[in-house]
Amino acid sequence: MADDAQEARFRQHEDILRSLTAMLGAQHAMNQRMEAFVARQDTINEGVQTTLARVETLLARMIRHEDNGRDA
């Protein structure tokens, strides 16, 4: 009887280890997807910053502060 209880507990531990291994594999895959997303987001952010700098430059050229109010 003690051997049966020990065998059942051993199987339970093996099931737990299999479950944990599967969860770790799933977590690893999700981490890789997130890393790829973050890398794409960084590239997008760089493009947005470049575009913003260009828009700011164009606005600065169009609206000259030293001439402000003299056109009236």
pLDDT tens-digit series, residues 36-46? 999 999 999 99
> Is residue 72 included in any domain, yes or no?
no
pLDDT at 64: 77
> Is residue 69 included in any domain, yes or no?
no
> Where are any strands of DSSP class E within 4-69?
none
Q: How far is CA 51 from the centre of its chain?
A: 22
pLDDT at 13: 98
If pLDDT is split at 50, 70 and 90, which confidence band does 68 have? low
Number of domains in the chain: 1
Q: What residue numbers bound the domain in which 19 lies?
A: 2-64
Pick the more confident residue, 67 or 41. 41
Lowest pLDDT segment from 7-11, 16-20, 30-34, 64-68: 64-68
User: What is d(CA 64, CA 70) in angstroms, rounded to the nearest whole number?
Assistant: 11
